[in-house]
Amino acid sequence: MPELLTAARARGSELRIWSAGTSTGEEAYSLAIVCSELLRDHAGDVRVRIFATDADEQAIAFGRRGVYARDALGAVPAEVLERHFVHAGDGFEISKRIRTMMIFGQHDLSRRAPLPRIDLCVCRNLLSGLTDQLQKRALQLFAFALRDDGYLILGEAESAGALSDDFEVVDPALAIYRRRTNAELRRLNERLTIDAAETASANEDIETLNEEMQTTNEELAALNEELRATVEELNASNDELEARGDDLERLAEAREEQLGRIGSQRTALVKVLEAIAGSVVIVRVSDGAIMHAGTPLEVSDFAAMRGGWSSGSTVTSPKGTFTLTSAEVQVDGYLVFRLRRID
Ligand SMILES: C[S@@+](CC[C@H](N)C(=O)[O-])C[C@H]1O[C@@H](n2cnc3c(N)ncnc32)[C@H](O)[C@@H]1O
């Protein structure tokens, strides 16, 4: 308040205070009394005008009368009561000196225009009762009403956050705000314009990025498709390979069997070879031809013989008479007999 009074004095103009939603006037008179106390003997230097408005006409009529019961003034210090009130029946009436500062009027913030060139606007415990939209309208009204650097005081539970571009917080606990100067607002506006331009170009970048991402997405989708086809082909090849694997396994088993057979034939052959070492005769089954004759006989000793080869047969040759013992071994169409000399 001293700062505001000094500024008004320096400006050579009046100090204009608006108590909006003042109700029955206590707030407006308190502001007038504070100014009067601060000015004391210099009251003539600065003219103070307090606009006390409310939507409620009856409340305004009450305030305009300026008469309060003793109980309603319990918090007012005795010397203040003495200086600024006069006895009126059971209560007190506001002094003429204070009354000259006051202008009471009915004013609805949701409909009426702002008051001009206000230095301090006090609007306590009103905004919280309004819708968000009306709160914003009321704050816009105060922003229009206040001079550059003018102050706004709200109720402690209220805020000017909805119009934070126009109001700078001075004291958050006491809900005191300063209206930014027009120059500040212009700079803010320019900043916002630049921000908007930057946002627009950032948006363009994002859009370009989005387009690129979309293209990449399409490429990825195509690649995906190709991969799926490749995977299907691989699966088919896999199936074929598996089938071939099965064939190979079967072949391997067959080969194993064959090897087994060859092994046992080899064993038989070994026996044959062992037998050949002794007196044996090998006969081809298909035509009864002698293929081998063991010592001391020779194939030619059997030249006259054809067929009739069986176990127990007797063979007479120039080298003596022999008996064939059982065919011990039979290998792929050949019979092997042992020879026993009997003369
Ligand atoms: C809770 S009182 C606050 C009174 C005083 N400011 C205080 O803090 O003690 C709210 C006042 O706001 C007034 N009010 C409500 N809506 C209003 C509007 N749209 N325009 C002006 N005054 C309004 C009511 O009539 C009421 O007197």
pLDDT digits (tens, 9 = 90+) for 216-247: 788 878 888 887 877 788 787 788 888 888 88
- C-alpha 258 to ligand 1 mean position (Å): 112
- Could you tell me the pTM of the whole model? 0.60
| Ligand 1 contact, 19 CB (< 6 A) | no
| Ligand 1 contact, 23 CB (< 6 A) | yes
Q: Are 31 and 93 in contact (CB under 8 A)?
A: no
Q: Find, among 101, 70, 110, 75, the residue nearest to 87 by Cα.
A: 70
Distance CA 39, CA 14 (A): 13
Highest mean pLDDT among 55-64, 204-213, 311-320, 325-334: 55-64
Which of residues 28 and 229 earns the better pLDDT score? 28
What's residue 172's pLDDT? 95
What's residue 184's pLDDT? 77
Question: Mean per-residue pLDDT for 15-20?
Answer: 98
Q: Are 275 and 338 in contact (CB under 8 A)?
A: yes
Which of residues 190 and 90 earns the better pLDDT score? 90
Alpha carbon of residue 303 to chain centroid: 104
CATH 3.30.450, applies to 269-341: yes
What's residue 111's pLDDT? 93
pLDDT band for position 337 (50/70/90)? confident
- State in Å, rounded, how far the first CA of the chain is from the last one: 162
Q: Find, among 123, 175, 169, 113, the residue nearest to 144 by Cα.
A: 113
Which residue among 126, 153, 174 is best mutated to probe the pocket of ligand 1, counting the most ligand atoms within 8 A of its Cβ? Answer: 126
For domain 2-187, the CATH class is: alpha beta
- C-alpha 188 to ligand 1 mean position (Å): 32
- The number of the ligand 1 atom at minimal distance from the alpha carbon of 111 is 19
DSSP for 172-230, written as a single string: TTTTEEEEPPHHHHHHHHHHHHHHHHHHHHHHHHHHHHHHHHHHHHHHHHHHHHHHHHH
Average pLDDT across the chain, whole number: 86
- C-alpha 151 to ligand 1 mean position (Å): 19
| Ligand 1 contact, 54 CB (< 6 A) | yes
Q: Are 319 and 301 in contact (CB under 8 A)?
A: yes
Write the pLDDT tens digit of every residue in 273-302. 565 555 677 878 788 778 877 777 778 777
pLDDT band for position 270 (50/70/90)? low
The distance between the two most distant Cα atoms of the chain, rounded to a whole number of Å, is 181
What's residue 7's pLDDT? 92
Q: Find, among 153, 72, 95, 74, the residue nearest to 119 by Cα.
A: 153
What's residue 71's pLDDT? 93
pLDDT band for position 269 (50/70/90)? low
What's residue 175's pLDDT? 97
Question: Mean per-residue pLDDT for 65-83?
Answer: 95
- CA distances from residue 294 to 2, 137, 163, 268, 285 in whole angstroms, order as listed: 149, 135, 129, 18, 18
- C-alpha 132 to ligand 1 mean position (Å): 16
| Ligand 1 contact, 24 CB (< 6 A) | no
| Ligand 1 contact, 185 CB (< 6 A) | no
- The number of the ligand 1 atom at minimal distance from the alpha carbon of 107 is 21
Distance CA 192, CA 62 (A): 46
| Ligand 1 contact, 124 CB (< 6 A) | yes
Ranges of each domain in the chain: 2-187, 269-341
Which of residues 61 and 45 earns the better pLDDT score? 61
What's residue 333's pLDDT? 78
